[in-house]
Amino acid sequence: MLSIGELSRATGVKVPTIRYYEQAGLIEADERTEGNQRRYSKVGLERLRFIRHGRDLGLSLDAIRALVGLDPTDHATTHAIAREHLADIRDRMARLARLEAELKRIMAACDGGHDHECNILEAFADHGHCAQDH
C-alpha cells in the first residue's frame, strides 16, 4: 500500500490534485490508517496513472470519469469519446491558426523600429477587427 506522498512521487501528480480527484470521485483510497492517512493499492496507482495520461492528452475530467466507468469491452463509447475529443482539438487548432494569421498581419504593419508609427497596441485593442473578418 502506498501513502498519498508515495503515490504522488510515483505518478508526478501533486498531493492536492490527488485529493481533488478523490473529491471528484475519480479515485479513492483503498483504506485509511489508524491515523486517518490514505493508503492506495496498485489499482489506485494504475488509476491515477490513467487519469494523469488522460489529462496530459487534454481530456476533461468528465471524459476521464466516463472512461474509467466504462466496461472495457465498450469500444463504441470509448471511440465516441476519443472522436469527440479529436474534434475539439481540431476546433482549437483552427482557432489558433486564425489567431496566428491575425497576429502575423498585425506584426507585418510594424517592424519594431522607431522610425514610423506602430499600431500594434491599437490592433490588440480593436475587438471588432479579427481574423474572421478577413
Q: Over the stretch 10-40, which tens digit does the pLDDT of each residue have?
A: 999 999 999 999 999 999 988 888 888 889 9
Please report, rounded to a whole number, the percentage of residues in the chain having pLDDT higher than 70.
84
pLDDT of residue 110: 74
Query: Residue 124: pLDDT above 90?
Result: no
pLDDT of residue 128: 53
Own/partner long-range contacts of 8-16 (Cβ < 8 Å, ≥24 apart): 10/45, 11/45, 11/48, 11/49, 11/52, 12/52, 13/48, 13/51, 13/52
pLDDT of residue 133: 47
Residue 112 banded pLDDT, cuts 50, 70, 90: low
Which pTM was predicted?
0.73
* CA dist list (Å): 6 to 15, 17, 99: 9, 14, 42
* CA dist list (Å): 131 to 87, 104, 110, 112, 128: 21, 10, 18, 22, 10
pLDDT of residue 36: 86
Integer Cα distance of 52 and 64 in angstroms: 10
The grid coordinates of residue 116 equal 514610423
Least confident of 18-27, 28-37, 70-79, 123-132: 123-132
pLDDT of residue 132: 47
Q: Kind and range of the H or E element at 2?
A: strand 2-3
Instruction: Please tell me the number of Cα atoms within 13 Å of 133 on its side-chain side.
Output: 7
